[in-house]
């Protein structure tokens, strides 16, 4: 059975070019980049070249790039650095729709005596910038707001937000895991202090990430030990994965036009086709300002998990807006923050495409999805719930 993979916001396939660039660093170029000999030095040179490719994609300087293990590590490092470098400040501002990497960290810090303000969103997942302005205080150590939401694709006005935060003299961090490689980003124009990205969201392997640290920003490392990453992240460099990420960033730059033309055209075909064929379905999120690859559609009176199980029988991969918690189905924290009605929130499905998605795959989903929803609605316990 062929796989129709529409879950690219969860993870992406490793691009063939990325894999090929990594192989020599498992076989022939296996030296330690920190070694004094030439054999290790050539690895260090390749790491530097990868750093330059990442910086080019972000509009940053190579020395502002710190390689990490993932987006979660990058997020935690940024926030903890801000707190530890400003011990007199005990307040953090973030949003109710952040990735769990930030939500869980915020909850942990609250138990440690910090105060966290979670900004709300409207029915389209948009922030109220006046609420942000009012939330910032003299003791605010950092504001952390994601670049684009992983569930709905809603994109926040990060450049404007960064300017607002910097006017108040506060550090600003953005989790850009879902945005990098899909949207043009130029950090030379936006006063962002910290930015996190994850390789496996842009066709690099799992286990490699980046923390951008703006030059001049006071920074305290999360991992201490050796001198790697200019003392900002200890641990032997993961050379194969760093090189692979560099290649992925180079490919992302070359395919940016496609990501913002052909990919959203396929997304719109899928979305419009499903809405036309299936009654009582709505799109979650801001359709005018969202990631080019993401469509989150809510189908009334069905459960998302049931939809995914039936899609899986056809080899179709997507994800649900619900999570099973303590034996009861709870809509995601993002959809709850948006106020999506209960009977819609439970039936929310996220389709996330990539440049490898084909029109034939979209046609296949359009053929299989309507009868699945009809079948589930016939047996749904929510049919009478309004």
Q: Which residues are catalytic?
A: 324
How far is residue 273's CA from residue 224's CA, in Å, rounded to a whole number? 52
First vs last C-alpha separation in the chain: 38
The C-alpha angle 331, 153, 178, rounded to 5 degrees, equals 110
**Which has the closest alpha carbon to 125: 158, 96, 100, 154?**
154
Whole-number Cα distances in Å, 2 to 19, 170, 210, 303, 314: 22, 50, 33, 25, 8
Phi then psi dihedrals of residue 67, to 5 deg: -80, 135
**Which has the closest alpha carbon to 73: 237, 209, 187, 256?**
209
H runs (alpha helix) in the chain: 16-22, 38-58, 71-84, 100-111, 129-135, 158-167, 239-254, 256-259, 262-277, 304-312, 333-338, 342-345, 359-379
Whole-number Cα distances in Å, 60 to 201, 238, 267, 381: 19, 21, 30, 52
How far is residue 8's CA from residue 356's CA, in Å, rounded to a whole number? 10
């Amino acid at each position: 059975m062929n796989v129709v993979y529409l879950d690219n916001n969860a993870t992406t396939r490793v691009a063939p070019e990325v894999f090929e660039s990594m192989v020599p660093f498992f076989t022939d170029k296996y030296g330690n980049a920190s070694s004094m000999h030439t054999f290790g030095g050539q690895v260090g040179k390749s790491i530097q070249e990868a750093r330059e490719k990442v910086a080019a994609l972000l509009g940053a300087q190579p020395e502002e790039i710190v390689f990490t293990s993932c987006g979660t590590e990058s997020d935690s490092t940024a926030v903890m650095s801000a707190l530890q470098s400003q011990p007199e400040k005990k307040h953090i501002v973030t949003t109710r729709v952040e990735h769990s990497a930030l939500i869980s960290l915020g909850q942990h810090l609250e138990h440690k005596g910090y105060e966290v303000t979670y900004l709300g969103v409207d029915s389209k997942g948009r922030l109220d910038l006046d609420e942000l302005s009012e939330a910032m205080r003299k003791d605010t150590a950092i504001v952390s707001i994601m670049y684009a939401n992983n569930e709905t694709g809603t994109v926040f006005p990060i450049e404007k937000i960064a300017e607002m935060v910097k006017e108040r003299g506060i550090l600003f961090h953005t989790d850009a895991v879902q945005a990098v490689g899909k949207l043009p980003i130029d950090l030379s124009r936006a006063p962002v202090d910290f930015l996190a990205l994850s390789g496996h969201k842009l066709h690099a392997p799992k286990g490699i990430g980046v923390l951008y640290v703006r030059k001049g920003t006071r920074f305290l490392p999360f991992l201490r030990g050796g001198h790697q990453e200019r003392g900002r992240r200890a641990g032997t460099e993961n050379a194969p994965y760093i090189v692979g990420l560099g290649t992925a960033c180079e490919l992302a730059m070359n395919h940016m036009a496609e990501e913002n033309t052909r990919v959203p055209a396929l997304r719109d075909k899928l979305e419009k086709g499903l809405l036309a064929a299936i009654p009582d379905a709505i799109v979650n999120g801001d359709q005018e300002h969202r990631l080019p690859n993401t469509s989150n559609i809510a189908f009334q009176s069905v459960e998302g998990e049931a939809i995914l199980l039936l899609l899986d029988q056809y080899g179709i991969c997507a994800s649900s807006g619900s999570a099973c918690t303590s034996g009861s189905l709870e809509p995601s924290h993002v959809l709850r923050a948006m106020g999506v009605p209960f009977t819609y929130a439970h039936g929310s499905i996220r389709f996330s495409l990539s440049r490898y998605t084909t029109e034939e795959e979209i046609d296949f989903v359009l053929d299989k999805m309507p009868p699945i929803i009809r079948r589930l609605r016939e047996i749904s316990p929510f049919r009478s719930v309004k």
